[in-house]
Structure 1
Amino acid sequence: MLKTVCHLAREAGNAITKVYDKEIPLNLQHKKNHSIVTAADIAAHKIIAAGLRALTPEIPILSEEAPLSWEARKTWKQYWLVDPLDGTKEFIQRNGEFTVNIALIDQGQPILGVIYAPILSIMYCATKKEAWKEYQGHHTKIHVQELHPPIIVVSRSHIDSELTRYLHTIGEHKIIAMGSSLKFCMIAEGKAQIYPRHGSTNIWDTGAGHAIAVAAGAAVHDWQGKELDYTPKKSYLNQGFCVSVIPKENLLKVV
């Protein structure tokens, strides 16, 4: 199943690249919630949704580009969670830091995750206990790494007062700014140790990265110390969270 999902992510990435390379018009629009959608988002969604339906017709799909009502979702025990193009701002700014995200959720927890960065030609994937990176034909098992001082990876688009306060109180550290769910992957492959996020995110922004980070040995928890939960809720939002290889008791002391 993981191999097939990776293939779907790569196909979706190829469709995104055609828009990125201007072979297909961007067709930028604004949704009702003021977020941006492009032809790349829609093309990737259609490829992934069709592929997942063929692979597992019994498992429902929740995609950013096809949100479903609470009534339709409230009894789900297992479902696919998809962000066809995570990092639309990075896509428009043409910095390459955007991804295709696919996760399988079971009993509220992500048990499979795939993140593909088409412009960077990097694939990250995970089952419940192991995570891998594929780059330039090499398929490598990845795991977290502790460093002192820690490297903190932060969002390019969401640096706010809470994050600034957190960084001032955490002690000696280094910072890397990164777009999209690649921040989870930086933790998973040992290139960073902490990813703090104080603002809310949608569940499709975090599901695949959560699976990969945890499989590589990291923890993904909210600022009260509870692991993020993807059990269907009326809202699609996660509250703030932290991905880290440092014991959460040490991190929560400075919140």
Structure 2
Amino acid sequence: MSLPPIAKIEAIARAAGDAILAIYQQAFTVEYKADESPLTAADKGAHDVIVAGLASLTPDIPVLSEESGEEVLQARLGWQRYWLVDPLDGTKEFVSRNGEFTVNIALVEGGRPVWGMVYAPVLDKLWYGGKRLGAFCSEGGVSRPIQTRPHQEGTPWRVVGSRNHLSQETLDFLAPLGEIDLVSMGSSLKFCIIAEGGAELYPRLAPTCEWDTGAAQAVLEGAGGSVTRLDGSPLEYNKPDILNPWFVARA
């Protein structure tokens, strides 16, 4: 796998973050898609920045974004290598102004996210990495390697869950674990907390799409963690159905 310079991808992610913050800091309107998920000018603006930036940086690699049209959604089924983008992951968090939203950029090869970058504009914090490539966190101008911390027997499970989609099925999944410390949080930040060693488990028994998970999965796998379906099989990408099955992210 060959990657363009990480600094150039970071520049694209940060430019998208700037576009998001420009909207975030003023009054904005909210539209709703057919599935009733929210859409703002920030989603659209970040999409334009990322698609243009990646097209200039890697013109030979196509881009699939959450805000791509139906033509791209159909074309991507023939792609072996492409950028998978969520320009604003956590639009509900954006609308509620709690800061828990991210810019997600992943490189997918052969149905697997091999590298990813997650940027949290409000936190000005960035994570990137991939399996066998390591994982890193950049904050305050300093980049450092990060590593998961698996659960220690005899201690409560440190679990992250969705702020908006903590389903009954998820609660039932957690029940046999006994004592847990549960932190609710939006967007792909949940994966990044596990990657940094701040939690051990994120079960997702509620709907997500591939662009919600690709970049953060790559970061978590680079940090030594895993993301699998409930039966333990890998979470696959570029499926005919863009929806993910239920999955568990682990340290």
> Same fold per TM (> 0.5)?
yes
Q: Distance in 1 between matches of 2:169 and 2:30?
A: 31
Alignment-derived partner of residue 174 in structure 1: 181
- Aligned match of 1:243: 249
Q: What is the distance in 2 between the residues matched to 1:94 and 1:116?
A: 16
Q: Which amino acid aligns with 1:209?
A: A
Q: Is the 8 A contact 1:131 1:142 kept in 2?
A: yes
- Which runs of 5 or more structure 1 residues have no equivalent in the other structure? 246-255
- Report the CA distance shift for 1:85/1:149 in structure 2 as closer, same or farther (over 3 A): same
Number of residue pairs matched by the alignment: 242
> Which residues of 2 match residues 62-211 of structure 1 at below 5 A?
62-69=64-71, 71-128=74-131, 129-147=133-151, 148-211=155-218
Q: Find the partner of 1:38 among 20, 40, 44.
A: 40
Counterpart in the other structure of 1:60: 62
Instruction: Give the secondary-structure state (helix, strand or coil) at the position aligned to 1:237.
Output: coil
Question: C-alpha distance in 1, partners of 2:148/2:241?
Answer: 31
Distance in 2 of aligned mates of 1:58 and 1:28: 34
Return the offset for 1:163: 1.2
Cα pair 1:108 1:229 within 8 Å, conserved: yes
> Are the counterparts in 2 of residues 62 and 68 from structure 1 also a CA contact under 8 Å?
no
CA separation in 2, counterparts of 1:34 and 1:158? 14
Provide the C-alpha distance between the structure 2 equivalents of 1:75 and 1:194, rounded to a whole number of angstroms. 34
The corresponding residue for 1:11 is: 15
The 1:189/1:133 distance shift into structure 2, 3 A limit, reads: same
Report deviation, 1:59.
Answer: 0.9
Q: Which amino acid aligns with 1:72?
A: A
Q: CA deviation at 1:234?
A: 2.1
Number of the residue aligned with 2:240: 234
Counterpart secondary structure, 2:78:
coil
> Cα deviation per residue 1:138-192 (whole Å; 9 max; x = unaligned)?
2110010124322000000111211111221112221111110000001100000
- C-alpha displacement of 1:64: 0.4
1:6 offset after TM fit, Å?
1.2
Displacement of 1:49 in angstroms is 0.2
| Deviation per residue, 1:199-219 (Å, 9 max, x gap) | 121000000010000000001
Task: Give the distance between the partners of 1:213 and 1:71, measured in 2 at CA.
Answer: 28
Deviations 1:73-118 (A, max 9, x none): 2211001000000000100111100000000001111111010000
CA distance in structure 2 between the partners assigned to 1:223 and 1:144 by the alignment: 20
Q: Is the Cα contact below 8 Å between 1:6 and 1:125 reproduced in 2?
A: no
> Contact 2:30 / 2:38 at 8 angstroms: preserved in 1?
yes
Structure-2 separation of matches of 1:5 and 1:236: 24
Task: State the 1:68 CA deviation.
Answer: 3.8
Normalising by structure 1, report the TM-score.
0.91
- Deviation of 1:67 after TM superposition, in Å, equals 3.9
By how many angstroms is 1:233 displaced? 2.3
Divergent runs of 4+, >4 A: none
Q: Secondary structure in 2 aligned to 1:201?
A: coil
Contact 2:28 2:41 in 1 (8 A): yes
